[in-house]
Amino acid sequence: MDKVKQRRETAIRKALEQDDWNKILHLLSQEEENLERKERKYGGLSLDYLLCEDSQDSVLEQLASPTLNPEELLVQKETNLELYQALSELSDIQFGILLGKALYKKSFRQLGRDFGVSGHTAKARYESTLAKLLEKLSDKNIF
């Protein structure tokens, strides 16, 4: 035990003998208050930090869990099903251009060469496909 803790223990014993509970509570909370002061000075944040004074929720309670509860899992499955359904309704060219641009980051010029159309046509088809998908998915409150 270091000197500071020894002095604190001695002061707590003296306060206990004098039946001074305010002093005891102050001495017991002193170490935690010192840690909080250091955290503020160095910009640290505890996960037990309360989000607001009126709330009992801490930062730790608000962190996202990697596991989904049954309701979230069901919503995710339904969303995926709607997305797969919307993608399956696209033509091969629409799907290829969308995939080439979004996933493989190909230029419209390269996509045009791949599908035998001009770069401007590839861009127009990409934009119309994207608009079509967004319209279908927004009707079902996915986006």
For residue range 12-66, list pLDDT tens digits in order: 899 889 988 888 888 888 888 887 888 777 776 556 655 566 666 665 555 666 7
For residue range 101-132, list pLDDT tens digits in order: 999 999 999 999 999 999 999 999 999 999 99
Biggest CA–CA distance in the chain, Å, is 93
Entry pTM = 0.51
As a whole number of angstroms, the distance between CA 134 and CA 18 comes to 74
As a whole number of angstroms, the distance between CA 126 and CA 129 comes to 5
Q: Is 107 left (phi over 0), alpha (psi -120 to 50) or beta?
A: beta
For residue range 53-73, list pLDDT tens digits in order: 666 666 555 566 677 778 888
Reference 78, options 23, 15, 141; nearest CA is: 141
The domains located in the chain, with CATH, are 3-62 (no CATH), 70-139 (1.10.10.10)
As a whole number of angstroms, the distance between CA 90 and CA 132 comes to 9
Question: Residues 67, 71, 77, 83: is their CA dihedral positive or negative?
Answer: negative
